[in-house]
Structure 1
Amino acid sequence: MGEVREFTLPDLGEGLTEATIVRWLVAVGETVRVDEPVVEVETAKALVEVPCPYAGVVTSHAAGEGAEVAVGAPLVTVAVSPGGEAAAAPEPEHVGGSGNVLVGYGTAEPTGRRSRAALRPPGFAAPGAGTGAGEELRSGADRGAPVPVISPLVRRLAREHGLDLRTMTGSGPDGLILRADVERAVSTAQESSTRHSAAQHSRAPEKASRERRIPLRGMRGTAAERLARSRAEIPDASCWVDADATELLAARKEMNTATAQGSSPAPISLLALLGRVCTAALARFPELNSTVDTEAREIVVLPEVHLGFAAQTDRGLVVPVVRDAHTLSAEELTAETARLTEAARAGTLTPAELTGGTFTLNNYGVFGVDGSTPIINHPEAAMLGVGRIARKPWVVDDELAVRSVVQLSLTFDHRVCDGGTAGGFLRHVADCVEHPARLLRTL
């Protein structure tokens, strides 16, 4: 066996000190190339694939899936054999180790998975191999063949419900396993279990219900800490107003009619229009685009608007951030929020895409609720909440009419402004929703 080298969990940036192992991408006994991801970890900010700087055969994992590993602690050991690194790396200078940490900053292009037998150092056998080890390794290679899935969350969902992806046939292109395939299999298994339980009910006493515990770790833990800190540190207050969104919806329909005729690249989203309204209102009321420096006892008014927006995912609520939102058009905001939302659901947001927000927009109307009092996303100074748009009676020119009405709520840090400023901001937002033409003054 060649020299065995230990690879420790690297510094993932953003002041992170630990990560939770979500899944191993390379099993013990399999080969790894220079800068090829060996493990997927969840930090307090995002899911991250960690590449190994060595080429060779993985001889051990330091921890199992679900375990927490500190930065600098052992992650894997790799047996590096003479010539093994050169064969695994595409360039001579890659031999040994690259020193790189994050995917996307490696020295080689991403490569596919490999079999257990490839590039194994002479004399190396998988743990537990004895007589007939070669057959075990070959069957292990078959069992370890990669299964095509649409995202890492699909693998996690299958693992949580005890499903073997290798027994499934995906409905996607070329047999790609989609989330819907896994959910269908889970539903089928649960129905079968329910029928079996009903058949056994007369012969077995009913079991007491068991409590379920969900660890507050990773992104969920970070969100919990931030919300608790917001409540503990920020003296917040809320105000709200109902607004007639009929004209805003009509304007959006007109924009997207042009899209259907091929003169615009993509339909404009309602979230993007609301984001555009927010940046216009913040230009008038910049105090709400600020943070409080408690040590210096100063309010820091920020020059750029980095707009956060709440996105619901399988891993909980996350808040991706649109950088320099005040410089983007409605079309550009549509494209960027769509990109970030897809990345959030796939679990591929980077730490930089989850931090640095200066103001947050929370469209909880997608859940079918009218109103809420949002908790400020610490250390920001305010958050705008948007309820569902519902058809309601409304007075127009002293006559009763049916209009599309939305409730807008603003939660703000009372240290940065008083009710007059907050009310002025919210009223301007409502006016822009009711009369979208007012936004032309800010374009």
Structure 2
Amino acid sequence: MAQVLEFKLPDLGEGLTEAEIVRWLVEIGDVVAIDQPVVEVETAKAMVEVPCPYGGVVTARFGEEGTELPVGAPLITVAVGERAPSGGGAEEAGTEGSGNVLVGYGTSEAPARRRRVRQEPAAGAAPAAAVNGRAGVPEAEDGPLPVISPLVRRLARQNGLDLRELTGSGPDGLILRADVEYALRAAPRPAPAAAPAPRPAATAAPGEIRTPLKGMRGAVADKLSRSRREIPDATCWVDADATELMRARTAMNAAGGPKISLLALLARICTAALARFPELNSTVDAQAREVVRFDHVHLGFAAQTDRGLVVPVVRDAHARDAESLTAEFARLTEAGRTGTLTPGELTGGTFTLNNYGVFGVDGSTPIINHPEAAMLGVGRIVPKPWVHEGELAVRQVVQLSLTFDHRVCDGGTAGGFLRYVADCVEQPAVLLRTL
């Protein structure tokens, strides 16, 4: 006989608490296999396909495309334990699940439970809730509080409710939002401090188009605003003759083998400069009033996509050669275009390289990618009059800029870093000292 299992939106990691349904990949009545993606969602970090840990027949979907759901909210229900309808071709599914959903969420069989003792509820305390006809499961006193959703915790905190007084009705005693709401109805508590009424959505006036700042666009807006609010940034810049760097790249690519990108050469210069000026490969812990310096370079690079600006991160860029950097830049750029970057590929950077020259501009004063301490900007490389070896000549000139957190270093360090980068651009042989 079939058993209907409910699959909830899992913990997507990186502190994310909600996601927007972009596209359903299954319909009600479809047969799904274990670990088959069933929905595509957008978080503040990336687009993610969510796999279902159960195999069987989809009996319900929760939420239309465009709906935002909190972590722990139901996504779909699946009837397992019976063969698929005729022609479905699915094998008989069990209830074990794969255990391989996403960060912090598993479906493998739970370990044997310890014997639990139900305590008598305190006078006036709410009875254990029952959801979908399931009896409440007593909560263990000596284990971690079984709450998956930050929204449930916040709801309880705002209403002065102690979650340890409740018995969760979810699997393994999981405390659900319904349990909290039931307890609040059964045992009224002092109302929390009144919050200001939410501002109603503005109605677009004639000639206006209003676009909600949500999802990735909203996350970018929040991060840039935070950077400007918290980081005392400054910018210095210099023009450099990139003729020899362009010739070196041409020679490398004429020698055979994988082609080397200009971005990879600039990244190699960045990592060499950071080895000399490690103050810029850091972050500020404002609470502790400390500068935290890193011994590795996780290099972010700004990439414009149809869905907005993303900053993928090349892990351990300092340990990669030009070929490896080229390949990783290409892989991450393609993932950014297709919206398949994972949260882990968009976080953890220690320094950012911003090649805004691809937009046909010479210079910029970019906003630092919080919580990093610096960003190197590279403008377009164009022929310009330049004094070379005492003679006026037409050379390939680029403007380089460095925006830095003035808390981590003074202008001397920032200028030294930028001058070293410019020297490597003008004389690539300088890099041989650090290879």
Establish whether TM, by shorter chain, passes 0.5: yes
Preserved contact between residue 223 and residue 370 of structure 2 (Cα < 8 Å)? yes
Q: CA deviation at 1:56?
A: 2.2
Any unmatched runs of 5+ in structure 1?
Answer: 108-207
AA at the equivalent of 2:314: V
Who is 1:48 aligned against?
48
Letter in 2 for 1:42: E
Question: How much does 1:289 deviate?
Answer: 0.2
1:238/1:412 contact within 8 Å kept: yes
Instruction: Please list the CA deviations of residues 132-181 of structure 1 after superposition, one character each: whole Å capped at 9, or x if unmatched.
Output: xxxxxxxxxxxxxxxxxxxxxxxxxxxxxxxxxxxxxxxxxxxxxxxxxx
Q: Give the secondary structure class of the aligned counterpart of 1:372.
A: coil
Structure 1 letter corresponding to 2:11 = D
Does the 8 A contact of 1:12 with 1:102 survive in 2? yes
Q: Which of 282, 291, 297 in structure 2 is aligned with 1:299?
A: 291
Partner of 1:346: 338
Give the partner amino acid of 2:235: S
Aligned-partner residue type, residue 384 of structure 1: L
Task: Tell me what 2:188 maps to.
Answer: none
Q: In the alignment, which residue of structure 1 is the partner of 2:236?
A: 239
Normalised to the residue count of structure 2, the TM-score between the two structures is 0.73
- Cα distance change on mapping 1:88 and 1:37 into 2, 3 Å: farther
The one-character-per-residue Cα deviations of 1:273-327 (angstroms, maximum 9, x if unpaired) are: 0000000000000000000011111111110000000111111110000011011
Map of 1:183-202 to 2, 5 A cutoff? none
Residue 379 of structure 2 aligns to a residue whose secondary structure is strand
Q: 1:245 to 1:106 in 2, by over 3 A?
A: farther
Q: Which amino acid aligns with 1:221?
A: G
RMSD of equivalent CA atoms: 2.2
Secondary structure in 2 matching 1:48: strand
| Residue 277 (str. 1) matches residue 275 (str. 2) | no
CA distance in 1, matches of 2:339, 2:407: 35
Matching residue's letter, 2:267? G
Residue 76 of structure 2: SS of its match in structure 1?
A: strand
Counterpart of 2:401, as a letter, is S
Give 1:35's aligned residue: 35
- Aligned residue runs from structure 1 range 409-424, under 5 A: 409-424=401-416
Q: Is the 8 A contact 2:81 2:95 kept in 1?
A: no
Aligned residue among 247, 250, 255 for 2:252 = 255
- Verify the 8 A CA contact 1:19 1:68 in the aligned structure 2: yes
Distance 1:392 1:91 in 2: 71
User: Counterpart of 2:217?
Assistant: 220
Aligned positions, number: 335
1:398–1:228 distance in 2 versus 1, CA, 3 Å: same
2:356 counterpart residue number:
364
Deviation at 1:91, TM superposition (A): 9.1
* Distance of 1:258 and 1:310 partners within structure 2: 29
Return the offset for 1:376.
Answer: 0.3
Shift of 1:90: 6.5
Residue 442 (1) aligns with residue 408 (2): no
**Cα separation, partners in 2 of 1:283 and 1:413, compared to 1, 3 Å:** same
1:62 matched residue in structure 2 = 62
For residue 80 of structure 1, what is the amino acid of its counterpart? Answer: V
Identical amino acids, percent of aligned pairs: 76
- Output the TM-score relative to the length of structure 1: 0.72
Could you tell me how far apart the structure 2 residues matched to 1:237 and 1:299 are?
17
Instruction: Provide the residue aligned with 2:23 in structure 1.
Output: 23
Give structure 2 stretches of 5+ with no counterpart.
Answer: 108-204
Structure-2 separation of matches of 1:210 and 1:28? 41
| CA distance in structure 2 between the partners assigned to 1:410 and 1:23 by the alignment | 40
Task: Confirm or deny: 8 A CA contact 2:83 2:90 kept in the other structure.
Answer: no
**Match of 1:100, SS?**
coil
Check 1:84–1:95 CA distance in 2 against 1; reply closer, same or farther (3 A cut).
Answer: farther
